[in-house]
Structure 1
Amino acid sequence: MADEDSDNFSELSYDFFDEDLNDDGTKDNESDISVSPLSTPDNSPENSSSSEEESDDEDLAWRSVLRKPVNKTFSESVGATFTLDAGQNELDFFMRFFSEDMIKLLVTETNKYAEQCQETKPDRNWKDVEMEEMKAFLGIHVYLSIVQLPSYTLAWSQQWPFGSPSIPNIMTRSRFELLSKYLHCNDVTQNPPRRTPGHDKLCHIRPVLDYVLNKCVENYQPHCEQSVDEGMIAYKGRLSFKQYLPAKPTKFGIKVWERASPRNGYCHEFQIYTGKVDREKTEEGLGERVVKDLTRKIINKGHHIYMDNFFSSPKLFSSLFKEDLYCCGTVRGNRKGMPEGIKSCKLKNHGEYKIMQKNELCATAWKDKKMVFYLSTNCDPNEKITVQRKQKDGSKKDVPCPIIGQQYNKFMFGVDRADQLRMQYSTCRKSKKWWKYLLWFLFDICVVNAFICMKESVNHVIKTKKGREVARTQLSFRMQLSRQLIGTYRGSRKRKSKSNIDPSGLAHWPVKHQKRGRCKQCAIDKKRHDVFIQCKQCAVFLCIDNNCFEKWHSK
C-alpha cells in the first residue's frame, strides 16, 4: 500500500531566472509551434518612412514616469457552488463531476461497440456490462492508482505476497481485460471522414470531454488569482497532434492548455490542442487566442491572470485590461510592441532594473543571473523589494527586485500544482488507444476537483478526539472512493475448481496401471515417488504406502 501522502505540498520553485534564457529573454525550444517565414518587406521610401513613424509613435507612448495601475477590486465569492450534508461521502462529491449519466454513457457505448465487434469477430466470453459492474471497474482503477504495480495483472497474482486478496473476488482478470478492451465513450461511426467538414479529432472522447469541462466550470467559483499554462498527457504512440516539448518533464504526449488556481490546484478550464486548423498555414497569435478562450467566462470580474512568456504580449495585456482582467508574466524581449528602451537596455549590476509604462501597462527589464523581461497591468511599479541570492562562497546576498518578480513567483504555479495532484495517483494504464489516455486524464481531474471541494467543505472537516482539525489527504479520499464505487458488487467466476472429495464416497478406487507414473501428492510435497497405483476416477497416480491416496482425496 502506498504511504499516506500529505497535501501540504512544498512550495514549487519558480526561480525561472536560472533557466537557459538567451540574451533577449527568449527560451530555446519554448514551444512546438512553427514560425512561418517572414515576407520580404517593401523597401520603397514611402513604406519605409511610414513604418518608422509608427515605430517612433509607439516608443513615444512609453514613459519612465511611473504610477500604480488602477484595477477593479475583486469582490466575487469563491469556492464550491454546491453544499453537501455531513452524511454525504466521497462518492457524492465525485458524482458532482462524473455523474450517473456519464457511467450510463460508458455502459451504453461499451455494449454497442462490443456488439459491433461481435459481427466481424465473435467473442463467446463477452456479455453485456451493467451499471454496478462499470462502477466496480472504475473503482478497481482507483485502487490500482493507489497500489501502483509494474503490471496490473499482479493484482490477480496467486503468488504470495504480490496478489491482492480482494480484487479477484470483485472481478476476474479476464473480465477486467474484456471491459478494458471494449470500453468506449462515443459512436465514432457517426464522425465524418478526415479532412472533411465537420470531422472531430476528439470524437472518441467528445461527450465526456464536454461534460467534465462544464462541470469543472459550474461547480467552483475561481479565486482572484488564476494561472494559465500548458500541460502534457504522456503518450508515445502514433498520433497526428502528438507534441514534443524538450523542456518539459513529459517530453512526448498530448498538449493541454489549462487554467487553474494557485491557491489549491483546482482545474477550472482546459483545452486539448489538436494541431493547426489549416495544415498549410501556421496559426498566428496562438498564445493570445488560448488565453482569451480560457478566460472568456471570467471577464469583467477583476481576476488577475498569470502566464509565462509563450503567451505574454503588450497587445494581449492591453486587450484583457479593457475586460477587467489584469495580467502579469514574463515576456520575450523581442516581442512585438515592447518599448525600445527595454529591449535595448544593457544592465550590468546584479539586481539593477528598468521600468517603462504606457497607460496601465508596465514593461520591466531586470538583471538577475541573466536578463529577465516582464509585463504587468496589476503591479505597482514604484514598489521595491529585495530577494536573496546565494553567492559562490555559500553566503546569501540581498538583491533589489521589482515587485512583479515576487508576484509572478507566488501565483504562476497553479497549473503545475493541478498536474502534481493529478499525477500523484494516476489512474491511467498503458493502452494502444490514444483517447483512453484522455479519458483517464478527465477521470483524474474529476477525482482531484472533487477532493478539493470536500477538503474545503465546512460540513466535512476531520477532527481528532481532542477537537483538533486534521487536513484531509488525497490518499484517504481515493481509498474511500474506491470502496464506494465497488460497493457490494462481486462478479461470479465462470468456472469453479472441482473438489477431490466425492459426495457419495464410492467412485474413487485404487487400481493397478500397466505403466508406472509419478505420485501426484508426492510431487506437491516436493518428493519423487513412482508407483503403479492410480485413482480410477481422478486418473492420477497416488501412493498407498505413504497415505498419499487419503491426503489427495481429503482436500
Structure 2
Amino acid sequence: MICEEASAAIVALPHSESDAAHFVSKNGKTWYKNPPPSRRIRAHNVINYKQNKPRPSNKMVYDPLSIFRSLITEDIVRIIILATNHKANQVATTWNENNSTKPKQCKALTLKEFDSFMAIILYAGLTKSNSKPARELWNSSHAPIYKAALSHDRFVSITKFIRFENVNSRPQRLLTSKTAAIDDIWLMLQANLEAAYTPHSSVTVDGQLFPYHGRTHFTQYQLFPYHGRTHFTQYLPYKPAKYGIKVSHKL
C-alpha cells in the first residue's frame, strides 16, 4: 500500500502508459511494480576469506563455562585473587594496628568464591539487575541464585577489596600509564578475545554502552555512562548518556 504523501508525489501516467513496469516520482526516483527476480549471486559479491586463525573447538562453542575460561583464563584469575587478598590483608593490618582491642581477621578469596562472585555479576547483568542495590538482590523477591552463590556480606566484602594489580607498585606505573590499575588484565583479556574470534570483511563494528559510576584515570573507546570526577570525561550529545569515558583498541 502506498501512503497518501507518496502517491501524491508520483507522476500521473497517460492511459497508454498505465501498463508500464514502473512509476517515476517527481524527484526522479523509479518505483517498480514487481520485486526483482531471484538470481544467482554474482561472483564479485561472494565473500571468500582465509581463516588464518584456528576456529574454536566444539566444546568451546557449546559449553558456556569453556567459553568463559577461554576469555577469563587461569592467569587472569590468579592475578585478581592475589591482588584482592593482598588488599584485604593490607586493610586488616591497618585496622588491627589502630584498633588492637578489636582485631579483625581477613578471609582469603578462593577460586570457588571468585567463580561465584563472577556468576552473580554476569547473572545480574543478564537480568538487567546490575544497577540495583546489592542488598535488594538478596531479598526473597529475587532469584535464589544470589543467596545460593554467596552471602550478601561476603559479596560486598569482595567488591570492596577486589583489585587487578599490585597496589604497592601502582604509583610508579601511573607515571607511564593512566591505565596502570588494569593494564595487565586488560591486555590479557584483549589477547584472549582476539584469539577466540577472527573478523573478516563482512564484520560490522559498533560502540556499546556500559553503565559505570566511580573515579578513573584512563580514556577508552567504548562509551561508559559516567558520573564522577575525571579530567577526560567526554560530552557526546548524540548518546543517551551525554557524558562518558571512551575505550579504544587498535588491531
Q: Shorter-chain-normalised TM-score: which range?
A: 0.5 to 0.7
Larger RCO of the pair (alpha carbons < 8 Å, separation 6+): 1
Q: 1:200 to 1:225 in 2, by over 3 A?
A: same
Identity %: 25
Shift of 1:211: 0.5
TM-score after normalising by structure 1: 0.30
Q: The residue matched to 1:121 in structure 2 has which SS?
A: helix
Shift of 1:229: 5.9
How many Å separate the matches in 1 of 2:173 and 2:67? 39
Computing the radius of gyration from Cα coordinates, the structure with the larger value is: 1
Aligned partner of 1:546 in structure 2 is none
Q: The residue matched to 1:96 in structure 2 has which SS?
A: helix
Aligned partner of 1:148 in structure 2 is 128
Report whether the alignment pairs 1:221 with 2:198: yes
Matches for 1:400-415 after TM superposition, within 5 Å: none
How many Å separate the matches in 2 of 1:219 and 1:246? 34
Shift of 1:169: 3.3
Aligned partner of 1:202 in structure 2 is 179
Q: The residue matched to 1:203 in structure 2 has which SS?
A: coil
Shift of 1:133: 0.8
Write the deviation string for residues 211-239 of structure 1: whole angstroms up to 9, x where unpaired: 11111222222121345566301211112
Give the conservation status (yes or no) of the 8 Å contact 1:242–1:252. yes
Shift of 1:74: 5.6
Q: 1:88 to 1:226 in 2, by over 3 A?
A: closer
Q: 1:247 to 1:133 in 2, by over 3 A?
A: same
Aligned partner of 1:165 in structure 2 is 144
How many residues end up aligned between the 2 structures? 184
How many Å separate the matches in 1 of 2:63 and 2:182? 28
Shift of 1:126: 3.4
Write the deviation string for residues 425-463 of structure 1: whole angstroms up to 9, x where unpaired: xxxxxxxxxxxxxxxxxxxxxxxxxxxxxxxxxxxxxxx
Report whether the alignment pairs 1:106 with 2:80: yes
* Structure 2 counterpart of 1:120, from 94, 117, 124: 94
Write the deviation string for residues 497-528 of structure 1: whole angstroms up to 9, x where unpaired: xxxxxxxxxxxxxxxxxxxxxxxxxxxxxxxx
Report whether the alignment pairs 1:89 with 2:66: no
Query: Could you tell me which amino acid in structure 2 is paired with residue 203 of structure 1?
Result: A
* Structure 2 counterpart of 1:187, from 140, 147, 166: 166
The structure in which a higher percent of residues are strand is: 1
How many Å separate the matches in 2 of 1:166 and 1:111? 25
Q: The residue matched to 2:163 in structure 1 has which SS?
A: coil
Shift of 1:110: 0.3
How many Å separate the matches in 2 of 1:92 and 1:194? 33
Q: 1:100 to 1:209 in 2, by over 3 A?
A: same
Q: The residue matched to 1:102 in structure 2 has which SS?
A: helix
Write the deviation string for residues 397-442 of structure 1: whole angstroms up to 9, x where unpaired: xxxxxxxxxxxxxxxxxxxxxxxxxxxxxxxxxxxxxxxxxxxxxx
Write the deviation string for residues 65-102 of structure 1: whole angstroms up to 9, x where unpaired: xxxxxxxx863228863213499621002211111221
Give the conservation status (yes or no) of the 8 Å contact 1:81–1:220. yes
Ranges of 4+ aligned residues in structure 1 off by more than 6 Å: none
Aligned partner of 2:226 in structure 1 is 235
The structure in which a higher percent of residues are helix is: 2
Q: 1:136 to 1:101 in 2, by over 3 A?
A: same
Q: The residue matched to 1:225 in structure 2 has which SS?
A: coil
5+ long unaligned stretches in structure 2: 1-46, 97-102, 208-221
How many Å separate the matches in 2 of 1:228 and 1:164? 35
Query: Could you tell me which amino acid in structure 2 is paired with residue 209 of structure 1?
Result: W
How many Å separate the matches in 2 of 1:242 and 1:142? 26
Query: Could you tell me which amino acid in structure 2 is paired with residue 153 of structure 1?
Result: R
Matches for 1:28-47 after TM superposition, within 5 Å: none
Write the deviation string for residues 179-220 of structure 1: whole angstroms up to 9, x where unpaired: 000001101321345984xx2111111111001111122222
Q: 1:84 to 1:101 in 2, by over 3 A?
A: farther
TM-score after normalising by structure 2: 0.63
Aligned partner of 2:44 in structure 1 is none
How many Å separate the matches in 2 of 1:126 and 1:152? 22
Query: Could you tell me which amino acid in structure 2 is paired with residue 238 of structure 1?
Result: R
Write the deviation string for residues 139-160 of structure 1: whole angstroms up to 9, x where unpaired: 11122123334323122124xx
Q: 1:85 to 1:128 in 2, by over 3 A?
A: closer
How many Å separate the matches in 1 of 2:59 and 2:206? 35
Shift of 1:127: 0.5
Report whether the alignment pairs 1:252 with 2:231: no
How many Å separate the matches in 2 of 1:220 and 1:130? 30
How many Å separate the matches in 2 of 1:87 and 1:81? 10
Shift of 1:134: 0.6
How many Å separate the matches in 2 of 1:78 and 1:175? 45
Write the deviation string for residues 250-309 of structure 1: whole angstroms up to 9, x where unpaired: 22221123xxxxxxxxxxxxx2xxxxxxxxxxxxxxxxxxxxx43xxxxxxxxxxxxxxx
Matches for 1:275-424 after TM superposition, within 5 Å: 293-294=250-251
Give the conservation status (yes or no) of the 8 Å contact 2:60–2:67. no
Shift of 1:104: 1.8
Q: 1:125 to 1:234 in 2, by over 3 A?
A: farther
